[in-house]
Amino acid sequence: MDNAIVRATGIHKTYDTGKIQVNALRGVDLSVGRGEMVAIMGPSGCGKTTMLNCLSGLDDVDSGQVIVDGVVLHDLPDDERSDYRARNMGFVFQLYNLLPVLTSVENVEMPLLLSGVGATEARRRSMGMLDRVGLADRASHLPAELSGGQRQRVTIARALVNQPSIIWADEPTGDLDSETTGEIMDLILELNRSNLQSFILVTHSEEVGRMAHRIVRMRDGVIVDDGFPNNPTN
Ligand SMILES: Nc1ncnc2c1ncn2[C@@H]1O[C@H](COP(=O)(O)OP(=O)(O)OP(=O)(O)O)[C@@H](O)[C@H]1O
């Protein structure tokens, strides 16, 4: 793929708990194009989250190479890799839940403040992003004062506020009912189309998978299928 933004080759990852070794990734090759939306699917335990963590540089790999926009990710020292992630990637992960004591806009502006953007500019951009996700009128609400779908929209606004070229999402619609899932996916698709950002998302939902440009199916730590969703409108 010529315009690949992510190019992973021969990724192996083993977890060693002391008692047993789990070969979570057993030679994964994957390229993701600029502006592409890829759904990673497969049965529980097949290695989807591990793949997201390894490809985004959140976790180390045992062997193989991940090149993101020309940068060999795992060659970077830890602090430079974190910095690279903060500047170029957005995350919609359960691990990065909204901070409960901060309002919507305070949550969204956090990545900007952490990367050195001034307070006034951070607030301006965060309000703009909340507006994009349809939540300008909930800017001063705490997460507990929002619905599940609204919370997820704030999480997406926070992931996108830095204008990253890649967004990694682990079950972005996991706990949501089907109507809200549709709304969140429409939002993600609209952002993907208008900003040409690449989305790589893990999902158990065939409905969500069908909305992506491409479905990558995994089993037992390898990719077993990689193709277009069976959807004539895509
Ligand atoms: N920190 C860890 N230590 C040991 N084993 C782990 C660890 N994390 C994951 N595993 C194992 O690695 C394998 C892949 O796990 P992973 O979380 O990537 O699967 P998954 O496809 O995302 O599953 P699910 O759909 O249930 O979230 C599983 O067998 C899991 O038990």
Domain boundaries, the chain: 4-96+167-227
What is the number of the ligand 1 atom nearest to the C-alpha of 221?
Answer: 14
pLDDT at 136: 94
- Best probe residue, ligand 1, of 44, 49, 51, 219 (max atoms within 8 Å of C-beta): 49
> Which pLDDT belongs to residue 2?
60
- 77-to-57, 66, 80, 83 alpha-carbon distances in Å: 11, 14, 5, 10
The fold adopted by the segment(s) 4-96+167-227 is Rossmann fold (3.40.50)
Q: What is the pLDDT of residue 230?
A: 64
pLDDT of residue 233: 45
Question: What is the mean pLDDT of each successive set of 10 residues along the chain, which is 234 residues long?
Answer: 86 93 96 95 96 95 95 93 89 83 96 91 96 93 93 91 92 84 87 89 92 95 89 46
pLDDT at 229: 78
Alpha helices in the chain (DSSP H): 48-55, 78-88, 104-114, 119-132, 148-160, 178-195, 206-211
Q: Is 229 in the pocket of ligand 1 (CB under 6 A)?
A: no
Of the candidates 135, 132, 58, 144, the residue with the CA atom closest to the CA atom of residue 93: 58
